[in-house]
């Protein structure tokens, strides 16, 4: 394609062929939906973690509304439907991340590049392919990468929701190509909600977050790094028609040092399938009933290494109270929370507020808390309040004491 399409006020992102409800997600690309009294296997076009919608991969939370689009007949298609969108907090979340390019071309590019003259989708340059090459009326060449952003909690939009080597590779390539005369852009298309700011998700991909702060600059703030970072918001209805809700959402790239500094807090979830008795350092022998235990900790540096250490059941010298309990766990999961302040006591208090039963003295010898380890009879990952608590710390509490957000 050469000439840009005439600017439109709406763009169709999907068809609403069937309304359904979420049941479970066996893997990244398969969702089991419920409709018409039966279970329907559906293709999942978004491979992200998506825990705000479905819960954790090993502990799905059923019930969220889905909009299904019938797939074109194909011998290669293993499912008859694709999950095209879902209903979340009173709005519609388009689920085809690949179709964000359709919205970008129709709604955002004419706004992003004044005097847009040519648009070339899926432009190949060397060994890489970029979403768009655009040419403006002055003949300047613009490379644009588009990323769909669906993680919006506490009025803060974040990308990505899982580590993305591809996103980091594209960013580094754009930074290098800017030296060759290209105007380079990354556009985050936020697909729902009412976010007041966009920031890179340092909790799930600190490498990308640090790189975005290093190479990028918020486009609305003028020149800076070699890559202009934009964020815009679209609104989509249940019929699949999307409109431009906000041409520009503020971009905050001020937390790169926090991401690169590798410091913050974490929650470690341990599942004990059987009762056990363990000698916990100076606490002596403690009895643990079967169930789930959540530990709140912090590491002001080397957070990733600390978490990795906790995930190992054996092969380490016992130092922290948690080291004595990990060998008895049937499963261990860790959730990092990068922050400017030490939040482990706040996290412990939040676990208590969720109904956790504290193990007296565990992990709190250097503070006034009664415990930093809390017992739950049922899996906390299947509790919506637990997920909301995690996002509250990741999207709000973790940034208190730092730069603007």
Mean pLDDT of successive 10-residue segments in the chain (405 residues)?
65 97 95 96 95 93 97 86 97 92 94 94 92 96 97 98 94 96 97 97 97 94 90 97 96 95 97 96 96 97 95 89 96 97 97 98 95 97 97 96 71
pLDDT value of residue 401: 83
* Residue 160: count of CB within 10 angstroms of its CB: 21
pLDDT value of residue 266: 98
Return d(Cα 258, Cα 398) in angstroms, integer. 10
For 97-259, the fitting CATH number among 3.30.70.890, 3.40.50.720, 3.40.50.1860, 3.40.1350.60 is 3.40.1350.60
pLDDT value of residue 129: 93
C-alpha distances out from residue 37 to 67, 82, 300, Å: 16, 18, 51
pLDDT value of residue 125: 92
Task: Tell me if 217 sits within 8 A of 229, measured CB to CB.
Answer: yes
15-91 CATH fold: OB fold (Dihydrolipoamide Acetyltransferase, E2P) (2.40.50)
3-class SS letters over 234-250 = EEECCCCEEEEEECCCC
pLDDT value of residue 54: 97
Task: Tell me if 303 sits within 8 A of 264, measured CB to CB.
Answer: yes
pLDDT value of residue 4: 64
- Runs of H (alpha helix) within 223-354: 256-261, 303-311, 321-325, 344-353
Return d(Cα 262, Cα 38) in angstroms, integer. 47
pTM metric for this prediction: 0.93
Strand partners, 94: 85
pLDDT value of residue 74: 82
Strand partners, 141: 135
C-alpha angle with apex 281: 278 to 283, nearest 5 degrees? Answer: 80
Domain residue spans in the chain? 15-91, 97-259, 262-395
Strand partners, 236: 242
Whether cis (ω within 30° of 0) applies to the bond prior to 160 is yes
């Amino acid at each position: 394609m050469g000439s840009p399409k005439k600017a439109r006020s709406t763009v169709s992102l999907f068809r609403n062929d069937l309304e359904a409800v979420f049941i479970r997600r066996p893997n990244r690309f398969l969702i089991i939906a419920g409709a018409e009294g039966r279970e329907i296997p559906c293709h999942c076009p978004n491979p992200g973690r998506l825990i705000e919608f479905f819960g954790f991969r090993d502990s799905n939370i059923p019930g969220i509304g889905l909009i299904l689009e019938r797939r074109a007949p194909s011998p290669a298609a293993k499912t008859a439907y694709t999950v095209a969108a879902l209903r979340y907090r009173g709005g519609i979340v388009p689920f085809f991340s690949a179709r964000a390019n359709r919205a970008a071309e129709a709604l955002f590019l004419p706004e992003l590049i004044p005097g847009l003259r040519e648009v070339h989708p899926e432009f190949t340059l060397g060994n890489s392919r970029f979403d768009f090459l655009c040419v403006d009326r002055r003949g300047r060449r613009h490379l644009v990468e588009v990323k769909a952003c669906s993680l919006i909690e506490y009025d803060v939009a974040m990308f990505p929701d899982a580590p993305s080597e591809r996103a980091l590779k594209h960013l580094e390539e754009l930074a290098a190509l800017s030296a060759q005369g290209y105007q380079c852009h990354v556009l985050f298309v936020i697909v729902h909600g009412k976010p007041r700011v966009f920031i890179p998700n340092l909790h799930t991909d600190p490498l990308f977050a640090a790189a975005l702060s290093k190479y990028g600059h918020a486009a609305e703030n003028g020149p800076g790094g070699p890559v202009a970072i934009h964020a815009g918001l679209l609104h989509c209805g249940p019929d699949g028609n999307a409109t431009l809700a906000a041409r520009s959402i503020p971009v905050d790239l001020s937390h790169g040092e926090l991401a690169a500094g590798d410091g913050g807090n974490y929650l470690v979830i341990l599942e004990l399938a059987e009762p056990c008795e363990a000698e916990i350092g100076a606490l002596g022998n403690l009895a643990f009933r079967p169930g789930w235990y959540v530990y709140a900790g912090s590491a002001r540096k080397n957070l990733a290494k600390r978490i990795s250490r906790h995930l190992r059941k054996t092969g380490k010298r016992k130092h922290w109270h948690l080291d004595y309990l990990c060998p008895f766990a049937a499963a261990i999961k860790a959730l990092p929370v990068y922050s400017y302040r030490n939040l482990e006591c706040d996290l412990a208090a939040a676990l208590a507020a969720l109904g956790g039963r504290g193990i007296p003295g565990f992990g709190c010898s250097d503070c006034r808390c009664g415990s930093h380890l809390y017992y739950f009879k049922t899996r906390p990952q299947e509790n919506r309040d637990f997920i909301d608590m995690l996002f509250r710390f990741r999207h709000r509490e973790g940034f208190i004491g730092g730069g603007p957000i």
